[in-house]
Structure 1
Amino acid sequence: MALNPSLPLQALAELLPGLLSQAQVLAGVFDADDRLVWANAAFCEALAVVPGSHPTWAEMMRHCHATQRGTVINTDDFEAWLASAASRRGKLPYRQFETDLHDGRWILMTETVDERGWMLCLGSDVSDLARDHRELRVARDQAQRASLVDALTGMGNRSFVMTQLSQRLAGRLDTPLCVVMADLDHFKQINDSVGHAGGDAVLCDFARLLQQGIRRVDVCGRMGGEEFMAVLEGLSLSEAEQVMQRVLASVRASRPLASHPELSYRVSMGLAQAAPGEPAASLISRADAALYQAKRQGRDRCVLA
């Protein structure tokens, strides 16, 4: 970092909020729980945020969709869109993308995430730049997203979560990293009793509960069928287990089908912490073995590898 020695760091820290407050660029800061802690006037105006309020990113998007202000969200299923967008948000140290606003502006957004999970969002109005190439870029971005998103649940697919796991294993030093393998119990019986559409609704319900139960910096995805995986970085084995126990509790309380209010379901989990230098395949194999042990022990539980 280049810093004029005549300007102490404390003085710079005092100057920046004032400068950003007056800037036309959109600027907002989110904490590790994805709650807006600071935003300038341009950010609040563009994204329909009440100045001085501190909504979560999900609450912001719900407000935009409900009021048709701020971000344009073109979808027939808002919850699926929200799950899909949340599955990508904050998973990379830096990300750049384009977004439309209801007032007609086209904004180039960037997200920068630090090691604690705090995020700086910056947006610039690029409405007048290279409009003729925009459709190509939008099509490219949509194709890239489709290749990494599970079509049913909207969360990351196997390719996405496996890539994230490999990158995090390669980049970590002394930071603990845990993998969770989860499988819905007796899922065939659910399909047989309420049909495949009902079974799909149960899968989507678990995807939502899993994603809500972990932090923004964590990763989860559908591996296929009724099997899911989560990657929890920076948590010890016992801390990761506490997170999964809360997810299991939310699953037990869930009644995902309004047409079948009596229907509940359960999930079994296997949890493993990466050993130093352990490859992804070995880590997943140990979590899988713990998952099958959970099945043998009666299901509806999380077993540690």
Structure 2
Amino acid sequence: MPRRLAIVVFAALLALPRLAEAASLVVSPRMTDLNLSAAMEYLPDPHNNLSLAQVSAPPLRQAFRPGGPTGLVLPKDIDYYWLRLRVRAADDWPDHGPGWVLFSDNIYLQELTLHQPPGPDGRRHVQAGGGMYQPFAWRQLAGRYPAFLLPRPQPGQELEIFLRMRTVPVIPIAFFGDSLAAHTAGALADDYVFGLCFGVLLTMIIYNLFLGISLRDRAYLVYVLYIFGMLAAGLFMYGQAQMLWDFQSELYGRLFWFFMGWLTCMAYAFMRVFLGLRPLAPRLDALLRACMAYGLVISLLGLFAQYHLAWALTTASGFFSPVLAVLAGVMALRAGYRPARYYLAAWSILALATFIFVLREVGLIDGGDLVRRSLLVGSALESMLLSLALADRIRLLRQEKDILRHRALLLGRLSQTDGLTGLFNKRHFDQELLAQVRRASESGAPLCLLMLDVDDFKAFNDNHGHPAGDQVLQALAETIRASLRQADAAFRYGGEEFAVLLPDMSAEQAAAVGQRIRQTFACQSFLTAHGAVSCGVSLGLACLGQGEDAASLLRRADAALYQAKRQGKNRLATAG
């Protein structure tokens, strides 16, 4: 018996420092986000059958275990717990005024019931509400997280508070103390910050959805799905979803992890589509495709309420997804893809915010307001920068499209144009002659064809050289061009021979055009080694007859040209 008594006394002496430490935490009317985890203890209730009377009396009273310095680290295989908080009220607590607020920022709390310190009648009043499985209307203080308004304590009073909790213990659970004024101010600041951030996300979704529909660009659709996942996951992560809809069931947790998986999958999908990694880095592209499947696995785990696995996979993704995103962006930027600048800036901001948030999730850092809001603020900033990246991408694609169109037009013109004279070539003449004859035959409009040939051009080349001959051809081409209307078309048919199509023009008008060309060209002189010389040009004119085809029209114009040659050159002959 004395030996057993000694063991009990020894155990009590060992417990005294811990009890003193737990009760040494002071709550004051001026506190703001005071982490109470060091004063919080927990008792597992694996069968959900323990009452307040049992846990507040020996032997279970001595079975409570201490929490961690920044949060309760609970066993993963138990959902029900009793919590005990022992603190001391500050000595300068005023005799009048409001009480104080006890709250947790943990979204995984499914049920939470608080038993207040005994009142003057010795009874503990119960406050139920705060968990996502409990009606939102039960919350004494409306807000995103469970919060309880506790009565004003007496100065120096030792407080012992019990809470019954049901949760999915995937991350350390922290409880905080606030003065009522600080809690109200914090809630108001939260409303502004979250309203601004969620407003930015919603605006980016609507704006880029309209752009994606109008531009029919797949990257915009993937961006919208990504930012929608960010918005939906944020609403559940930060508790606003329960303010919008009173779930009161496990559906809240299932939907939260479903959207976390959605967000993960769409993040990797956007990396692939925006950066175009398949030709640039096929191995990295294949890895990102696998990561998309990884996100879908998280969604499935959430739908089947496998929260521990979903949390583990999401936390791991929070570490390696920013690394992959930045690596992909650097590769694209080094390959000359300029929109990757905005992409890298966006992911660098989100990477920092994600890193801070994950450190908080695993309990390595404490969770003040800035840390709590880091991921949402980072997400809003990323959504804006990615929208700028998409706009820069569209601008770049348009520039490339304009360059390609210009090159296509240039190549098309080069394939249709004679390099020496700048007139259309014979290939284009053959196509245009068929088209003009078809049009004139269908409409009944007149069509005339002029064939031109420089007189004695071979002798001119032999006497004065080919450079001088080129000057003659260029001068005739310029004379023809200056004599035509916009609807007319001039061609270098081959060598020193030219052709002119004159739609909607009578034979008399066409002959006048031909004579003007002949007379203007005959008045020009060309400087050669033998002095100034001039050249003449012979012309043959034919007008499209009823039922005539292109080949016949060309033969008649060519015959008229040779008739002009036989009649003495430097003249115009008209086909009969």
TM range (shorter): 0.5 to 0.7
TM-score (norm 1): 0.56
Q: Which residue of 2 aligns with 1:230?
A: 500
Contact 1:221 1:229 in 2 (8 A): yes
Q: What amino acid maps onto 1:181 in structure 2? A: M
In structure 2, distance between residues paired with 1:152 and 1:192: 19
The answer as to whether partners of 1:251 and 1:267 remain within 8 angstroms in 2 is yes
For the pair 1:141 / 2:403, whether they are aligned, the reply is no
Are residues 1:253 and 2:515 paired?
A: no
Do structure 1's residue 294 and structure 2's residue 531 form an aligned pair? no
- 1:194 correspondence with 2:454: no
1:248 is aligned with what amino acid? R
Q: State the alpha-carbon separation in 2 of the partners of residues 198 and 298 from structure 1.
A: 24
Amino acid at match of 1:303: A
Separation in structure 2 between the aligned mates of residue 240 and residue 260 of structure 1, nearest angstrom: 36
* Distance in 2 of aligned mates of 1:214 and 1:133: 34
The CA distance in 1 between the partners of 2:517 and 2:419, in whole Å, is: 23
- Indicate conservation of the 8 Å contact 2:464/2:528, yes or no: no
Counterpart pick for 1:161 among 423, 426, 429? 429
Counterpart residue identity of residue 406, structure 2 = V
Is 2:486 the partner of 1:216?
Answer: yes
Give the unaligned 5+ runs of structure 1: 1-125
Q: Number of aligned pairs?
A: 180
- Aligned equivalent of 2:59: none
Contact 1:255 1:261 in 2 (8 A): no
1:1-305 superposed matches below 5 A: 130-172=398-440, 173-257=443-527, 262-305=532-575
CA distance in 2, matches of 1:127, 1:142: 22
Matches of 1:225 and 1:177, distance apart in 2: 25
One-letter code of the match for 2:400? D
Q: Contact 2:502/2:510 (CA < 8 Å) preserved in 1? A: yes
Alpha carbons of structure 1 residues 260 and 230: separation in structure 2 relative to 1, 3 Å: farther
Between the two proteins, what is the percent identity of the paired residues?
A: 39
Per-residue deviation, residues 267-296 of structure 1 (Å, max 9, x unmatched): 011100001221111000000111111111
Q: Rate the CA distance shift 1:192–1:278 in 2: closer, same or farther, 3 A.
A: same
The change in CA–CA distance for 1:190 and 1:144 in structure 2 (over 3 A counts) is same
TM-score by length of 2: 0.30
Output the amino acid matched with 1:206. L
Alignment match, 1:51: none
Distance 1:299 1:251 in 2: 13
By how many angstroms is 1:184 displaced?
0.5
From the CA coordinates, give the structure whose radius of gyration is larger.
Answer: 2
One-letter amino acid of the structure 2 residue matched with residue 166 of structure 1: L
Structure 2, gaps ≥5 residues long: 1-393
Aligned-residue CA RMSD (Å):
1.9
More helix by share: 2
Aligned-partner residue type, residue 159 of structure 1: R
Say whether the 8 Å CA contact 1:157–1:221 is kept in structure 2. Answer: yes
- Evaluate the alpha carbon distance shift between residue 254 and residue 208 of structure 1 in structure 2; reply closer, same or farther with a 3 A threshold: same
Compared CA separation, residues 249 and 131, structure 1 to 2 (3 A):
same
> Retained in 2: the 8 A contact 1:201–1:257?
no
Q: Distance in 2 between matches of 1:132 and 1:182?
A: 42
